[in-house]
Structure 1
Amino acid sequence: MAKWGEGDPRWIVEERPDATNVNNWHWTEKNATPWSKERLTQLFIDFKIVQSDIECVVNKVEECNGEATVNNRKGKLIFFYDWELVLKWSGRLLKNSKLSHNGKLTIPNLSEENNLEDVEITVTIDESNDESETLKQFMYNVGRDQIRKQLGVYIKELKEEYSKNLILPKKDANSSETTPGQAKDVNNAKNAAQKAAAQIPTAATPISSSNNNVTSKPVGCKLDVRSLTMTEEFHCNANDLYNALTKPEMVTAFTRAPAKVDAVRGGEFVLYGGNVHGKFEELVPEKKIQQSWRLKNWASGHYSNVVIELEETSSTTKMTLHQTGIPASEYTGMKNNWYRYYWVSIKQTFGFGASWPLGQS
């Protein structure tokens, strides 16, 4: 240890009245994980989202996995947090219905690396019908923005709470005869905390709210989307074609790449090296497959809805695909890719017949 008046002053403990972290030079760290888990739970339990004749509420934080730490290095605060959340929600239509429908909100990427508008929030429902689909669409269009605002509250409070006492004043910093440099250091912690809180990312489409209840429609840019309908005929029975679209080994065969396919309600699928992924929303063997479906390069959190219906005839199976929510700029490529990488490839791989379409629209 250097003596007073000798060597690098950063290491002279006498400069600090408590002989701790001279000039805030050393790395100091606080573990914010336990506090974060408790605060995230508090922010979302019984969190209501209400608009017009629809009411939804988050009932439970089912999963809260991750960590959070706050560090000080040379007087600079550095925040690290990385969370994966699963929230259980329920909703109902306030008019003409007494039924309650349940679902989940999955947040896989809440971290300091992402702005709030880039935080992905996936909305699913347990059972699909007209009422539950209305509620799911409401949670997608309105609820996600309110959830992001709550996440913003967590980030703001994290930065305010854990900025305290990480940046320490120098010796005589509280003296009435402080120098301008000392006075600056006294206020360093306060300024750092205020700066950290001010740098919180905000959601791209804020919604006015009071007491957690939505009072106005969301504002912001709407994505220009289109719908696609395709019809194909396959020389096989409906069960064979259903299996080709849902069995992992058969999907791997026609995509010619490793595929993850969990063909149950809420199960995930990941194809073509992660470029295509989503979840199964409804499955009726030999009849129907419904998916939340997206390409990796689409806007974060945006999913299209894909419904594939199978109709077996005496000698073939007629397949009809209807996809809604396709970004307009992707429409032509989407139609060509379904045809080339799905229908033609399935026919060639399994010998299910000629590759010319019956019709497209």
Structure 2
Amino acid sequence: MAKWGEGDPRWIVEERADATNVNNWHWTERDVSGWSSECLRQLLLAVRVEGAEGVCQLTDVPKLDGEAWINNRKGKLIFLYEWQLRANWLGTSGAGVKFRGTVDVFNLSDENDMDDLDISVSLGKDQPNTPLLDLMKRTGTQEVRRVLGDYVRQLKSEFSQGMILPTAGGPKKPHPDAKKSQIQTTKTQINPAPRCSSGPAPCSSGVRISTCSFSLKETFQTSPDELYRTFINQEFVQVFTRSAALVDGRRGGRFQLLDGNVSGEFTQLVPDQRIEMRWRFRTWPSEHYAIISLELVDQGDETELRMECRGVPVGEEESTREGWTRFYFQAIKQTFGY
């Protein structure tokens, strides 16, 4: 396969707001490697298989080498991707004995069908033989093949829109304002429509901005004290975010995680019951923080988490909601089995 991103510059044009790529004649291309890496990790870490031998689950993805591009030539989309990856798996036998191993995929590529993928499953060094290896080879490889197929389908559906520009005589795109009232819902959402504040809120820099609020609710198969520690303990946070983090789990203690994209301060901590914090994303206006409260409700065999988020800049509510759902709630469940 030819190297992506290389070609005669006369045939490569940038995406432009004035849509000058008339009738999609020129060759446009888009690098979607970053999106692909994140999508592949999320899909792979959700792989879990169970059988008479026990349970196996992928725990991390230490190797993910490759790239993905989308090209548009004369209105035809061409999807180019090539990946080599390795995932670690943890198996637990019916007797509770744990075993570790790896799954390697050598040829995830647009040139190969899913049935042609070369998937290798092995036990870790010095690990004794176990029927769990047969479970991973028999059922685990099928599940890995399935989620990799999901990646390809998501790649094509996610980016089919926007790469092909309107033609000179084609219909116009609807005005962006027409979609402002449409809200994407998630299973964890209590109130699908954000509540906009009655007036703009000032931030420390003196700039007044309009803000919104939203609520989320999620159930975890664990105790309140265990879930409480998951949010305020630095080691726990580093595990479920899979990155370095700084977390001072005391009232007034500060935190920074996800490569510095998220930061804030704990303002109130009621052990095993409630966490309140000032929370911000790096791209928000300087020194502007949302106020987030997490209430932990004991439901016997599970814990219900009720989240209230106030002061999110207007236009950021959807990405903030989805970020909490994906990088906090889903990540915690996938990592710790809650």
TM tier, smaller: 0.3 to 0.5
TM-score, reference length from structure 1: 0.41
Pair member with larger Rg? 1
TM-score, reference length from structure 2: 0.44
Q: Compare the two structures and name the one with the higher helix fraction.
A: 1
